[in-house]
Structures are given as C-alpha cells and as structure tokens.
Chains A and B, each alone.
Chain A
Amino acid sequence: MFKVIDSKPLVPNIHQITVEAGEVARSIQPGQFVIVRAEDGGERIPLTGSDWDQSAGTITLVFMVIGHTTHRLSLVSSGMEIPTVVGPLGNPLEMKKYGTVLCLGGCYGIGSIYPVARSLKEQGNRIISVVEARSSHLFFREEKLKEVSDQLFFITRDGSRGLKGHVGAQLPRIIDSLDFPVDLIIINGCNFLMKRGTDISRSMNIKTLVSLNTIMIDGTGMCGVCRVTIDGKRKFACVDGPYFDGHQVDWEELGTRRQMYLREEVLPLRTSEAEERHPSVRKV
C-alpha cells in the first residue's frame, strides 16, 4: 500500500496527489510514468511523473478527473492509502544540451512538462515554456515553471490571459517572435494539443517529441494494448516510448484507440455503489 500525503484540486477538474513511494522517487527521471490503482479491484492507469522528492521519497501526479478511476483517485485524501504505485516505467527523455528547447504543456500536461523543463534547464538549455488552457483560471504551477524557464508564454482560448486562440495559430507567432531558433519542441498534454503542435512544427521543420498517452494495463511490455504506429511501424508506448518523434505518429489511429472504452470508463460512475455493497449481492 502507498500512503497519500497530499491531495488537492489544482484547478477545476485537474487534481494533484503526492504519494509516498520511495523506490520510485529514487529512480524516476523526466518523461517516465507510473501505473496506479486507486482501489482494490481497480483498474491500472498510467500517469506521468509531475514532480518527485528523492529525500522525502515521494512522487507527485497531476491528472484530469475524467472517468471512474481518476474520480476515485481524486477522492483519496491525505493519510489514506492506494494499493498500487509502480514504476518508473517507460524510457526517460534523453537529458543533454539541445540548445533552445520549447516546452509546450496543455491541460494536465502543464504538470508533467515542469520536471522536463527543470532538468533540461539544469543541462544548460535555454527553456521557452508555453502553457495552454481554455481560460486563465485553468493555469497552475506558474511560479515553479517561471523559475526554470527563460521565457514563459500563456495561450488561452478566450484571451483572458496571454495570447488568444489555439496553439495552431499562436505557436508560430511565439517562435517567430524569438531572437533565436528553436532546436527542439517537447509537448505534453492531450492528443489534440500534441497533434496541432506537431502540425505546426513540421511546417517549421523543428524536431518535436511528444509524450503519448495510450491505454495500458501492465505497462511492462506484456499486454500490447499500448501499440501505436510510428513511421508506419508498430511500437509499444510502454517500453519503446512514451516519447516519440511527433512527426511520425499516426494521430488518427491513436485517437481512435484511446476512445476504445470511453463509454465504460464512466459507467461505474453511474452505477450505485450502495448496490455493490449490499449484502444480498453475491460476492464472486
């Protein structure tokens, strides 16, 4: 069992938990993820590490509350335990001096782009951070990101903060406004953001790495549900990824596969838990 020492909503629908998982905290690197279960009998979901503290032996996870499991996870309060936190899984992002790196985070991806930016900064890279959300009240971790960024840009759909509109329109303007070329773009966030971002960077001919979120079960290279098509070849996000060259990803297939259990993910939310616990229900 893994003790949750902090649990709080960051902004509407995005939640953060910090869990005691010493072994994971000591070995996790930027870009890696863990698999968690929120309850006994619960499903296994992958979440990217958003921060960690080696000496305290804790890791921090940021996630969007979207289906049953993330809902359950958001209800776990500090002091409670969750049954599984296993990892770190996947390959870390290669840490070296690239030059100027643009770190783009959207939605829950704002959480996981932070340790990436921090480590790349430590490697001597110039960090341009760009965060994107629907509206100004949906930004979080601003101070932390500011600390590790040379420049920080905001994009909101409604224009309530920073640049107004979509990444598609605003990313080229940001890149054009810089006095130096961008050597690498890293995108963490939803599929839509990653796809739009890579469309732009392809036209500008800038190498782009994306952190793919697929459905996973074991996360250790066994079940194969996380398969993605990269440059026409089958790859497995859990052991070959999660970072891939964004220009080679088959986004349409990924989008379709991610929606496989859309209906089922929310079904338990609609099922009365009273029924589950009622003594007349036969235990199997």
Chain B
Amino acid sequence: MAEIESTPKKLNLNRNEMPKQHPLVRRHNFHEVALGYTPDLAKAEANRCLDCKKPHCVGGCPVEINIPGFIRCIKTGDFAAGIRVLKDKNCLPAVCGRVCPQEEQCESKCILEKKGGQIAIGRLERFLADWEARQEDLEKTEILSSTGKKIAIVGGGPSGLTVAGDMIKLGYQVTIFEALHEMGGVLIYGIPEFRLPKAIVRREVDYLKSLGVNMFTDFVVGKTRTIDKLLTEYDAIYIGTGAGLPWFMDIPGENLNGVYSANEYLTRMNLMKGYLFPRYKTPIKSHQRVAVVGGGNVAMDCARTALRLGAETRIIYRRSKEELPARLEEAENAEEEGIIFEYLTLPLRYIGDKNGWVKEMECLRMELGEPDASGRRKPVPIKGSETRIPVDAVICAIGNSPNPLIPTTTPGLQIGQKGNIVADEETGKTTRDKIWAGGDVVTGAATVILAMGAGRKAARSIHEYLSTQ
C-alpha cells in the first residue's frame, strides 16, 4: 500500500462530476457530450488528491505520465506548469483525457479507488489540455540539437504521432506517411465528433508540425513506395498502420445492402463527414431502425452515431451487461441517450427484401452457462428462442484484423497467425533490422493509449539503437 503524507487530512471521496450535455439534447447533435471541468471544479478535484509518496497511478499509465506532478500544479493554479508535466510524457493530452479507459488504468490504481472515490485523473488531464488550447501562445517543448538521422513513420494514428513527438524532441528528422487524406488515423476516421472533436485532433497534429515533423498524406507505404525503398533513405522505420479488414460473423445475409462494417460506417461518418451529406459529398442513408452487433467501444460509437441521425437503435450483444467490453461511461452515455440494449442475443442471419436490402434479422436468445477460457460466463443458446427484429441497417462491430498492406508487401517481416506484424513487446522491434512496429498492426484491435504506449517504447528503443550507430 502506498504511503500517505503524514499531514492529517480528511478523506474526500466525492468525485467531482464533469458537466455534460443533457441526454435528450445531445441525442440530436454531434457536439461533444462532455463539457469539461471549469477551473474551480478542476481545483476542487485536484485538492482531493493525497499526493502519495509512492504513487501507484503512474504505474497504471502506459505512457508513464507524472500524474501527481500535474495534479499538484492544478492545486496551485499553475496550469502552464501542469501542461509542461503532461507534455513531457504525452504529446496528445487532449485526446487521452477524452478517450483513455482511465478506470482500467491510472484511476484503478488510485489509493482512493477502494473506497470508490478515485481521483478523476482523465478529467484533470483533459482540463489542462483544453486550458492550453485557449492560450494565445503555445509553449514549445525543448528540442535537442539535430542528430542528423532520419526516421520514417508509417501511419499517422496515435502510435505514429507518439513516436514522432518523442523522436523530434530527441533531435531526429521525422517524417510521417499517412494513407488517408487527413492525419490522425483512428482519431479522425474512427472516433466520432461527439466523443473527440476533430478540431482537437487537428490541433495536436499541428503542434507536432510546428515542432518540425514532416507529414505526407495520400501516401500508401507498401504501394506508393515500399518499406525497402524507404530504408534506403531513412535510418529507421516505425510501422503503425493500425486496423485492417473488418471481421464478419460468417452468417447468411452479411453482404446485403444496409449491412455495414463498423469501419465503413464510422469512416463514412467521421473522416468523410457523411452526417453532413449533401454538403459533404459522401453519402449516407437515413435509416429508421439500426442494429449494432457487438458490445465494445466501437459498437457504442456506431450506435450513438446512428441514433443522432434519427434511427431507433439497438445494441445486439451475446453476453450480459456485466461482460460488456465497452467503457462503463460510454455504455451509460449510450443508455441515457436512448439506445436499446438487447443482451444475451446472438444474430443468426439477415433477411433481405426483393431489392437486396436488409429488412429483418433473426436472433437467438442466450443464457449464461459455465465460465469459458476468458473467465467470463459462456452464453449458451436457449432452444427455440429464435426471434426476428425488423431493421433497415445492421452495423457489424465485432472487431477487425491488422492492416494487411505492409505485411503483404514487405518480405522478411515475420507475420503472426492473425496477420499481425510480430514485434517485441518491450521494444517494438520486428524481425527485420531498422524496422519497429506497434499499435493495432501488432496487437490487433486495442485502445488508443496502448498504441501510444507501444509508440513510446519503440521510440526509446529506436533512440538507443541509433545512438550506438
């Protein structure tokens, strides 16, 4: 157990709630749901921190932010100092403050967690980042003198951006190649506007640009130029190409019109701004009854997007509420907004109309049996419980494989069974010299912060390697 400072202090277990848009209002707009702490709320929350001598929260953070350090700055109102502490370890604080699963990471390690009053670390991080965004002059991180060495980063998502931020500070020349027409990866194409406003992502990307990171969009490494060609120009390469082909359940009717993968639905909506069609030119249908299959964060994002476009939306999940893999906060938000949850329900097939559009889905109800390999109670079908749900769109949000482009175009790179690039967990080193990899292309679908953590470790390893060259 962590030691607590000797000054006697009454424990305050009341977490300060963050103001949010009312559910009945926000279900009709794409503005951000959570509104953020005011300075007073932030200070009040920071003052609850016990400032442990051996803070466990830091160990729960994949990028090792000095959490008590920045909270101390908030207590004293020195927000500029706080942001310096944050940015020392995290180049995307406004993003992480919003989308990290803090309840499983830093906040779960907080000494007050056992009593149910853990410090709202994520909200405080977000507060500082948003405070900084409102300042006229951004304070720039110190950059070490040039090493003269060049790094290429493949993929402009959270893990690539982290590597870029770390390496540029160490004096390397950094270039990011992004396949899409906008930087940010999943932060731009995947996470909806109401959870992570795109202006925030652009701001973080612009900050890296201002530090001197070169960025090329519309550049598909593997196709436009291969990894091996890049190696003739760069001293090291980091691959963070993220998500790939969506999974489907292999049940009848999945290629009917109106059945989307989560990747397609979210890309249409977020990167291409389909919800503003026809002002933005990528079309999206206006659906009346949407079913989202899956129970993760991506499923919640899809469902809440469909709801905002006016559809009656339900989540179809084969296990029960207790097993939902989504963040509790997101599931609660979804429920408040009016998403219908069909737990213990398994899709069997989709039924189309005469024009090839999905009109109904057939499902089987389940009950929980014995625990399976994952430790969760296994859902078992209830015989004869087939039921039909009328739908005009289905979004399949059950995961995806790692992106296939680099694995299929780079000889000598060891590829795992799931199509992932094999890389050392601690260093991100691949089986080829001068090539590192991290994020979803290594682990399969995971979280933004884990991708960032992998980027941090790889950056350290690349630096070690290049320092000895």
Contact = CB atoms under 8 A, between A and B. Distances in A.
A217 B273 CA distance: 12
A68 interface: yes
Given A221-B245, A221-B403, A264-B283, A44 B218 contact: no
Interface string A41-60: 11110000000000000000
A145 interface: no
A229 B256 CA distance: 11
Contact of A223 (B267, B276, B284): B267
B103 to A, nearest CB: 29
A217 B272 contact: yes
B438 interface: no
A223 B246 contact: yes
B222 to A, nearest CB: 9
B279 A85 contact: no
Contacts of B271: 217
B267 A222 contact: yes
B277 interface: yes
A277 to B, nearest CB: 11
Nearest to B403: A221
Interface string A251-273: 00100110111001101100100
A69 B281 contact: yes
A44 B225 contact: no
A41 B263 contact: no
Nearest to B248: A234
B283 A256 contact: no
B224 A223 contact: no
B179 interface: yes
A27 B224 contact: yes
Contacts of B225: 23, 27
Contact of B282 (A27, A43, A227): A43
B328 interface: no
Nearest to A255: B356
Interface in A224-241: 224-225, 227, 229, 234, 236, 239
B202 interface: no
A220 B263 CA distance: 12
Interface string B212-232: 000000111001110000000
Nearest to B283: A264
A257 B272 contact: no
Interface in B274-325: 276-285
A251 to B, nearest CB: 13
Interface in B42-92: none
- The A contact surface, by secondary structure, is mixed
B257 A44 contact: no
Contacts of A218: 179-180, 189, 267
A227 B284 CA distance: 18
B255 A83 contact: no
Contacts of A87: 220, 223-224
Given A239-B404, A256-B356, A88 B255 contact: no
A224 B356 CA distance: 18
Contact of A222 (B255, B273, B403): B403
A199 to B, nearest CB: 21
Contact of A220 (B179, B257, B356, B400): B179
A222 B272 contact: no
- The B contact surface, by secondary structure, is loop
A84 interface: yes
A126 interface: no
Nearest to A258: B257
B181 interface: yes
Nearest to B244: A221
A37 interface: yes
A217 B265 CA distance: 10
A222 B243 contact: yes
B272 A86 contact: no
A70 to B, nearest CB: 11
Contacts of A222: 189, 242-246, 263, 267, 400, 403
Contact of A84 (B181, B255, B283): B181
Contacts of A221: 244-245, 403-405
A85 B218 contact: yes
Contacts of A267: 277-278, 283
B358 to A, nearest CB: 11
B81 to A, nearest CB: 36
Contact of A41 (B218, B248, B281, B284): B281
A221 B220 CA distance: 11
Given A87-B224, A224-B245, A224-B261, A256 B355 contact: yes
A103 interface: no
A253 B283 CA distance: 20
Contacts of A178: none
B18 to A, nearest CB: 24
Contact of A253 (B246, B255, B261, B268): B255
B224 A271 contact: no
A225 B264 contact: yes
Given A27-B225, A87-B220, A264-B283, 11 more contacts: A41-B281, A44-B181, A87-B224, A217-B271, A218-B189, A220-B223, A221-B404, A222-B242, A222-B403, A225-B260, A227-B255
Give me the 7 closest cross-chain CB pairs, A-B, nearest first: A264-B283, A256-B356, A224-B261, A86-B218, A224-B246, A43-B282, A223-B264
21 contacts: A23-B225, A24-B224, A42-B281, A68-B278, A84-B181, A86-B179, A86-B181, A86-B218, A86-B220, A88-B224, A217-B271, A222-B242, A236-B245, A239-B405, A261-B283, A264-B277, A264-B278, A265-B283, A267-B278, A267-B283, A284-B276
